[in-house]
Amino acid sequence: MAERGLFVVLEGIDNCGKTTQSRYLKDYLESQGLPVIQTREPGGTEVGEEIRGVLLKNRARMMDPVSQTLLFYAARKEFIVNVVQPNLGKGVHLLTDRFEASTYVYQGYTQGVDLRLIDSLHDDVVVAACCKPDLYVILDITAEESFRRIENQNNLGQDHVFENQGLGFMRKLREGYLAFAEKHLEEVVLLNGMLSEQDLKIQIGLYIDLLLGERTDVTGKI
């Protein structure tokens, strides 16, 4: 039976560079001949992409934060059943842009959804399916830097609800990620997202090597 793949999640406030680092990491793992899938949340499945459409359009502005949370978890359940479990089970490594840390930060910390609700969904949807990530990589940048990058890319989409809420909101999101990192020390690496792409790439690679090494120690092979 194939050894279970690693489940690595990249997180952070908008424009922190997680998608770029996820691509580097994919290349790194593939260069070692390891099977890897790069994906994102919400999304990753047909139903998940449809739910993503509902959540990220302007109409989400009208949506109650608890309703948002439930939709994110509906998409997450689909993602777990159709993508995470089958691939990890086959020994494929999974790199995902965003996962539960986003819900804790965006819906819980920032929009006030009761953390007991998120904890309970976490238990029933993620823990029960044995799909907790092996590692969260959080790229920490300031709210100001996030906006600077948005302006540089000129990509502030009219309909991108979560990115359109201002500096105060972005600061609160950052605080949320720092709080999440502090609370989940064992599963989170918090990296300075202001470092160069190359430096971050090297640092993330080192953490992944450690995880892969631990697997080698246990079984004698990867």
Question: Site residues (CB under 6 A) for ligand TYD?
Answer: 14, 40-42, 56, 72, 97-98, 102-103, 106-107, 162-163
Those residues with Cβ within 8 angstroms of residue 213's Cβ, 6 or more apart along the chain or in another chain = none
- Min dist. Cβ of residue 216 to ligand TYD (A): 31
* 34 vs 67, beta carbon nearer ligand TYD: 67
β-pair partners for 192:
140
> Burial letters for 63-91: b for 16+ Cβ neighbours within 10 Å, e otherwise?
eebeebbebbbbbbbbbbeebbeebbeee
* 5 vs 12, beta carbon nearer ligand TYD: 12
- Min dist. Cβ of residue 72 to ligand TYD (A): 4
* 154 vs 219, beta carbon nearer ligand TYD: 154
* 4 vs 160, beta carbon nearer ligand TYD: 160
From residue 105, alpha-carbon distances to 89, 114, 118, 199 in Å are 29, 12, 11, 26
Bin 177: left if φ > 0, else alpha if -120 < ψ < 50, else beta.
alpha
- Min dist. Cβ of residue 176 to ligand TYD (A): 11
* 70 vs 189, beta carbon nearer ligand TYD: 70
- Min dist. Cβ of residue 160 to ligand TYD (A): 7
DSSP code string of 26-54: HHHHHHTT--EEEEESS-SSHHHHHHHHH
- Min dist. Cβ of residue 202 to ligand TYD (A): 23
